[in-house]
Amino acid sequence: MSEKPLLSVENLTVRFALNRGGLFGAASYLYAVDDVSFHVNRGETLAIVGESGSGKTTAALAAARLVSSHDGKVVLDGQDVLPLEGEDLRQMRRKVQFIFQDPYSSLNPRQRAEEIVREPLQSLTDTSAPEQQEITDRLFAEVGLRPEQKRLFPHQFSGGQRQRIGIARALATQPELIICDEPVSALDVAVQAQILNLLSALQKEFGLTYLFISHDLGVVQHMCDSVAVMYMGKIVEHADRKSLFNNPLHPYTAALLSAVPTVDKTLRQKTRRILIPGDPPDPTQKQTGCRFASRCPVAQDQCRQAEPPLKEIAPHHRVACHLVDEKAVSPL
């Protein structure tokens, strides 16, 4: 693998304006993504995980220029993408494609399957009609769909088959980065495994790079090379897969991992279930200290008073927690 990251996100901030509370009220903002940095190496998979509302999808959308950023820098293959406009932006969109969460609502119900897969070729490339047909036919075979299914509409497919159409559409422009936004959360468990295996096989065949968004660490543990855990717009832990699953340092990460189901009875007995009480604080209110402090079972005064920096505790393992020292031992 190349050591140079394909995607580098530095100090990314995304905010949304809130109601002023009157004509002359002061402007206020909800910071959905707050000073977030990460990178994805070419040919690898970075998973961003966290509960609903953590900002993981917004961060991915901002990196792909589908949501406006307030601050920060996004570099794709050596090019800063945030200032791009016009034809330069169109060329960038060829390099980044999405696989969406809901395989039904993300497909146009009035288009046949082959038209859905061909659409990115028509809007983002200059390929001829015969070339588009050839690419479409090949992609149907690659994702496991039969030739006669090209003429069907989305409602005539199962959920897993619809997601295969979405995958084929994402591959059409030969992108360098594919953002997978909860691609299996709407599918049955057996179908989830099929889609994950397909994504892994396609990555090996085409050398794809994935940014994988999920709320389920159990789903990503066999897919990713590294994991970033987000909570309320911040990355609280970022590590390679082995380090994070074997030695989760942040209490929030440990709680998420303790909730991952397993059929291994011995492992279930060894795993201590960590409950997270209460709800996340109001994101519209300014936060002081660690954002997880109000729900953390081991929080101390310093956690409520000062925001912990995301610091490197071990090689390729960063954590934002006052209670984790250089010995890389979880406070739980």
Locate the domains of the chain by residue range.
5-231, 250-332
| Predicted local confidence at residue 281, as pLDDT | 84
| Predicted local confidence at residue 218, as pLDDT | 81
- Homologous superfamily of 5-231: P-loop containing nucleotide triphosphate hydrolases (3.40.50.300)
Q: How far apart are CA 56 and CA 228, in angstroms?
A: 9
Cα–Cα nearest to 195, from 221, 228, 161:
161
pLDDT in tens, the chain (332 residues): 446 899 999 999 999 988 766 566 677 888 999 999 999 999 999 999 998 889 999 999 999 999 999 999 999 999 999 999 999 999 999 999 999 988 888 899 999 999 999 999 999 999 999 999 999 999 999 999 999 999 999 999 999 999 999 999 999 999 999 999 999 988 888 899 999 999 999 999 999 999 999 988 888 888 899 999 999 999 999 999 999 998 999 999 999 988 877 655 665 556 677 878 888 888 888 888 999 999 998 999 999 999 999 999 988 899 999 999 877 778 87
Q: What pTM does this model have? A: 0.91
| Predicted local confidence at residue 24, as pLDDT | 64
Cα radius of gyration rounded to whole Å, the chain: 21
